[in-house]
Amino acid sequence: MPSSHRSAFSLPDDLHYLNCAYMAPLPRRTEEAGIAGIRRKRNPALIGPEMFFEESDAVRAAFAQLLGSDEAERVALLPSVSYGVAAVARNARLEPGHEVLLTRDQFPGNVYGWMRAAGEAGARVRFVDPPRDPDRPGERGEGWNERILEAIGPRTRVVTLGHVHWTDGTLFALEAIGARASQVGALLVVDGTQSIGALPFDLAAIRPDAVICAAYKWLLGPYAQALAWMGPAFDDGVPLEETWIAREGSRDFGALVNYRDAYAPGAVRYDVGERSNFALLPMVLASLELVLRWTPECIAAHVAGISAPLLAWAREEGWGVEHDAWRAPHMFGLRLPPGVRPGPVQEALAARRVAVSVRGDALRVSPHLYNDEGDLEALRTALAAVV
């Protein structure tokens, strides 16, 4: 996949932006869709009742397609991951003695909602630690996955984690974890924010109960939008808000005061109020269409290809890099070699206009289609200057 995709974005020419896991740059098409969306409200006469539904439905269908599903109505339109987690946690039927299993140091957007729900139900949140064997720095992922499988037992009600760890791209074997969870009757809730869009997600094989995903990273979308796919376990749940638009029959604007008990089918009941955002939804749709056109498979292959020389160099120079089998292609952590402090590393990166994130004791590198070998070489040069 050629880096000519850079022209689909408006990144400054001299910036080596290797930080999609922080925030994706807005594609030009998405920006245009947003501007057109804002302009529509200049003349509300042009915003017909059908527009409250058609764009929402198109976004649902596109996200479902990305997961390999044709059940658009299973997709809910949300403002954030935290919002989706609160809705799912509220309907997870936690009881005293239940455990909610998470991986250590998970992003808080998928932690606090569980803490609240577990606390209220007399259940507990349990974090599974990675092994910390200094002799096997590149084999943390394998041991961590083993520990997760071992931790799932009769008390487990929910297992909730990412496909990758957000700090360093450690890969979690969701298929095996999901199979073990379903053996004990536990729900699998996936935070797809750091993977969906750049790492293929096989819904049919993983069989999660819910997948929640912010739009502003690997979906290349705007901030303040998130999407959730909800399985049958949540079909009869209670949403966080009682929106009128999620009730059956809401398309008939003349009959809205014929109040109905029934919700629209699937996950629509979990939509945020005023979900038909006329500026942000067209942006989400434009971005999803790009990701569907480029495909997660090709995006992953491109970033794996351009990162390979840097990873080989980093291993030789003593940077801690996870074994290839247990790290994602699209984002990876480089743990600092002994004696190297983060401060000088950050200065060297800033001097060469290289953008990555520091998370814990690792640099998190997360390239995309707009990057090429030159960006990774700039990173290598910066790192070589400090070891």
> Can you give the binding site for ligand PLP, defined by CB under 6 A?
80-82, 107, 109-110, 162, 166, 191, 193-194, 214, 226
DSSP classification of residue 308: H
Q: Closer to ligand PLP by CB, 25 or 109: give it.
A: 109
Rounded Cα distance between 95 and 156, Å, is 11
Q: Closer to ligand PLP by CB, 122 or 273: give it.
A: 273
For the CB of residue 195, give the shortest distance to ligand PLP in the complex, in Å.
9
| Among 107, 1, 23, 5, CA closest to 355 | 23
- Amino acid, res. 306: I
| Among 95, 320, 60, CA closest to 186 | 95
Q: Closer to ligand PLP by CB, 53 or 107: give it.
A: 107
Look-up of token digits 């998370």: 359
Rounded Cα distance between 110 and 63, Å, is 20
Q: Closer to ligand PLP by CB, 226 or 349: give it.
A: 226
Look-up of token digits 């997600």: 201
Can you state the angle between helices 373-384 and 342-351, rounded to 10 degrees? 130
Rounded Cα distance between 156 and 123, Å, is 10
Q: Closer to ligand PLP by CB, 271 or 372: give it.
A: 271
For the CB of residue 194, give the shortest distance to ligand PLP in the complex, in Å.
5
For the CB of residue 113, give the shortest distance to ligand PLP in the complex, in Å.
9
- Amino acid, res. 143: G
Residue 294 CB neighbours (<10 A): 19
Q: Closer to ligand PLP by CB, 88 or 226: give it.
A: 226
For the CB of residue 126, give the shortest distance to ligand PLP in the complex, in Å.
19
Burial classification of residue 385, based on how many CB atoms lie within 10 Å of its CB (0-12 exposed, 13-18 middle, 19 or more buried): middle
Rounded Cα distance between 381 and 172, Å, is 31
Q: Closer to ligand PLP by CB, 365 or 382: give it.
A: 365
For the CB of residue 18, give the shortest distance to ligand PLP in the complex, in Å.
16
Q: Closer to ligand PLP by CB, 19 or 110: give it.
A: 110
Rounded Cα distance between 3 and 198, Å, is 16
For the CB of residue 81, give the shortest distance to ligand PLP in the complex, in Å.
4
For the CB of residue 268, give the shortest distance to ligand PLP in the complex, in Å.
20
Joined tokens for residue 34: 């947003």
For the CB of residue 168, give the shortest distance to ligand PLP in the complex, in Å.
12
Q: Closer to ligand PLP by CB, 99 or 191: give it.
A: 191
For the CB of residue 87, give the shortest distance to ligand PLP in the complex, in Å.
12
| Strand ranges, E, within the chain | 16-17, 75-78, 99-103, 124-128, 156-162, 187-191, 210-214, 226-230, 332-335, 354-355, 357-359, 362-365
CA angle 168, 325, 201 (to 5 degrees): 75
Residue nearest to ligand PLP (CB): 109
